[in-house]
Homo-oligomer: A and B are copies of this chain.
Amino acid sequence: MRPMAERARAQLRAEALDVAEELVVAGRFGMPELASRLGVSRQTLYNEFGDRHGVTSALVLRSTERFLDGIEAALAGERDLHAAWVAAVAAALHRAADEPLLKALLTGDSDVLGAEPIVVAARDRAAAYLRRTWPELENVDLAAETAARLTVSHIGLPLAPPEVIAEQVATVVVRTCARR
């Protein structure tokens, strides 16, 4: 396949997922609607994504990757372990508040997928980052999973402002993995 065609394909995929996200959030997602909004034929979508589920799963995949990238960037943006977790949790809370699709995934208000893949992926990426950046820590896997679960819990059931939540989760996580 020639570079130009490939670039066009990637561009189409990206634009398709953008529009698909709008439609899913609006509750109007469908292949005919998506095709007409993109100005392409329905058949082109089937060629690119296989079927309807191919579109939705690609959309979920992209959303979770962006979500986790944002969290890892926040984690990496601070030198202090506690500050890093405050930033990461705050980033997660704000992103979940901004993106309805993400919040639906994390709280289970969706027919697409459950929260499990995101929690597992977040745990694994956070644990890998911790091991890479602070090798002297202990209980790294437990701390990472705790961070993921507590954050998701606070997204679904917020009892305090995001800054307070971030501070609390960071405290728990740091005390879990800090050597004493």
Q: Chain A: residues with CB nearer than 8 A to chain B? A: 107-108, 114-116, 119-120, 139, 142-143, 145-146, 149-150, 152-154, 156-157, 159, 168, 171-172, 175-176, 180
**Given A149-B153, A150-B150, A172-B142 contact (CB < 8 Å):** yes
Tell which of B142, B143, B152, B159 touches A153, judged by Cβ atoms closer than 8 Å: B152
A146 cross-chain contacts in B, Cβ below 8 A: 146, 150, 172
Question: How far is it, in angstroms, between the C-alpha of A150 and the C-alpha of B173 when the chains are bound?
Answer: 12
Of A107, A146, A159, the most chain B CB neighbours within 10 A belong to: A146
A156 cross-chain contacts in B, Cβ below 8 A: 108
A142 cross-chain contacts in B, Cβ below 8 A: 168, 171-172
A108 cross-chain contacts in B, Cβ below 8 A: 107-108, 156
A171 cross-chain contacts in B, Cβ below 8 A: 139, 142, 176
A176 cross-chain contacts in B, Cβ below 8 A: 171-172, 175-176
Counted per complex, copies of this chain come to 2
Please give the distance in Å from A141's CB to the nearest CB on chain B.
9
Tell which of B114, B120, B159 touches A159, judged by Cβ atoms closer than 8 Å: B120
Which residue of the partner chain B has the closest CB to A139? Answer: B171
Please give the distance in Å from A81's CB to the nearest CB on chain B.
14
A152 cross-chain contacts in B, Cβ below 8 A: 153
- 13 contacting pairs across A/B (C-beta < 8 A): A108-B156, A114-B157, A116-B157, A116-B159, A119-B157, A142-B168, A142-B172, A143-B172, A146-B150, A150-B150, A171-B176, A175-B175, A180-B180
